[in-house]
């Protein structure tokens, strides 16, 4: 008798009850779960920290924009790139994890994926620009007259290359419906690549372009800078030991102190940039640029 009543209840459309065998329980990945909650909290915390830090740097540099400094210009562009990640990517990521399904439509999906990649590419390429600028300043000091022009050209190339490298994201990602739960839509790369090998190749390209190649360039340039500073430091030491005049010796010691401080600053900058790239790589692996 109980079974008959259950069958009647399941098949009676007048009772407005979902049929028992038509829609089974949703898979965990299609619902808001503990992993989604952790992602929302993480994005929110990163947003607060990144917004406070980058806005402080940007406002400070903007107020001092009358001071013509090539380094300040680079740092301002770097803060702009980080602000794009902070105010575009992080809020959308948090909202996406809240809704689980993609609710913004196809155009919003493509736009978000473009800016998702653009912020990371721009930050990475500007870090490369800074390292190249330091390289030319130390290794080719006689070319300082062209430093400002060269810096503007490198910044322009960083922006152009970032835009070009991010365009494929807006082409590859699109909105797809779930094959079983057709009401569930998601922003994915599904049905775009002809094979998993093609998708793997594209993901490897992203890893190399946004992390691998910039890291090699940054590491190489700062290694050459440190070698050059060490070489000049040894030359100054030899000159100091061979000098017989006390006054000249004091001048040499002063020059050595400047070189040593420059070497320490360069080493610190190398470590900081290395840490920044590690953070980028961890965010990349967490799914920031790949589906």
For the structural domain made of 30-288, what CATH number should be given?
1.20.1070.10
At residue 264 the predicted structure's pLDDT band, cuts being 50, 70 and 90, is low
Task: Look at residue 148 and tell me whether its pLDDT is greater than 50.
Answer: yes
Write the pLDDT tens digit of every residue in 66-120: 777 787 888 888 888 888 888 888 888 888 888 888 988 899 999 999 998 998 8
Cα–Cα distances in angstroms (integers) from residue 235 to residues 134, 137, 193, 250, 255, in the given order? 21, 19, 58, 15, 11
Write the pLDDT tens digit of every residue in 204-263: 998 898 888 988 998 888 888 888 877 777 776 676 666 645 555 454 555 555 555 655
């Amino acid at each position: 008798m109980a079974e008959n009543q259950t069958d009647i209840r399941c098949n009676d459309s007048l009772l407005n009850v979902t049929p028992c065998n038509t829609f089974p329980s949703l898979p965990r990945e299609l619902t808001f779960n503990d992993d989604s909650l952790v992602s929302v909290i993480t994005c929110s915390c990163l947003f607060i920290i990144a917004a406070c830090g980058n806005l402080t740097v940007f406002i400070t540099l903007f107020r001092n924009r009358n001071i013509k400094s090539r380094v300040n210009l680079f740092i301002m562009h770097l803060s702009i790139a980080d602000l794009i990640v902070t105010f575009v990517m992080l809020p959308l990521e948090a909202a996406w994890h809240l809704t689980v399904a993609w609710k913004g439509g196809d155009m919003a999906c493509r736009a978000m994926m473009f800016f998702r990649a653009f912020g990371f590419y721009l930050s990475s390429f500007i870090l490369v620009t800074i390292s190249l600028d330091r390289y030319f300043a130390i290794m080719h000091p006689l070319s300082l007259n062209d430093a400002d022009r060269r810096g503007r050209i490198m910044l322009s190339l960083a922006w152009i290359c970032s835009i070009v490298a991010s365009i494929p994201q807006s082409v590859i990602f699109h909105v797809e419906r779930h094959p079983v739960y057709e009401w569930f839509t998601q922003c994915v790369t599904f049905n775009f690549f002809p094979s998993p090998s093609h998708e793997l190749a594209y993901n490897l390209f992203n890893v190399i372009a946004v992390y691998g190649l910039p890291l090699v360039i940054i590491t190489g340039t700062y290694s050459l800078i440190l070698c050059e500073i060490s070489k000049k430091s040894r030359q100054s030491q030899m000159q100091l030991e061979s000098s017989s005049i006390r006054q000249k010796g004091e001048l040499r010691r002063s020059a050595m102190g400047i070189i040593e401080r420059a070497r320490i600053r360069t080493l610190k900058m190398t470590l900081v940039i290395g840490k920044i790239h590690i953070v980028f790589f961890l965010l990349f692996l967490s799914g920031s640029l790949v589906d």
